Amino acid sequence: MTDKDLYGGLIRLHILHHAAEEPIFGLGIIEELKHHGYEISAGTLYPMLHGLEKKGYLTSRHERTGRRERRIYEITEHGRIALTEAKVKVRELFGELIEGH
């Protein structure tokens, strides 16, 4: 098992969390994830974003800024519900891993 396998779910939760705060885009979320210690390539991130969109957690649109066009992702209602449910599970796991409960 690689670290990517282990952390994939955590990265997806980070993506949903940040998308719940504001619309996100690929390079921006790569930078945000770096702040959390995740070194993730575009080749790893974009399939995750597309997978989250395919499952209905995110929706995307194309936005043009000057000459650059970027894909902007926003959380869906289904994504918000899933994130809320995941927070309960993360809290429980945190309690076991860190606090020993």
pLDDT higher than threshold 80 for residue 4 = no
pLDDT higher than threshold 70 for residue 29 = yes
Q: What residue spans define the domains of the chain?
A: 3-97
Burial code (b: 16+ CB inside 10 Å, e: under 16) for 70-82 equals: eebbebbeebeeb
* pLDDT given at position 101: 64
CB-side exposure of 57: number of CA atoms within 13 Å? 22
d(CA 76, CA 61): 13
CB-side exposure of 37: number of CA atoms within 13 Å? 3
Indicate the fold that domain 3-97 takes in CATH. Arc Repressor Mutant, subunit A (1.10.10)
Residue 84: alpha-carbon gap to chain centroid: 14
Here the contacts of 44-51 (C-beta below 8 Å, separation 24 or greater) are 44/4, 48/8, 48/11, 48/12, 48/15, 49/15, 49/73
Mean pLDDT of 6-35: 94
Mean pLDDT of 62-76: 92
pLDDT tens per residue, range 30-59: 999 999 889 999 999 999 999 999 999 999
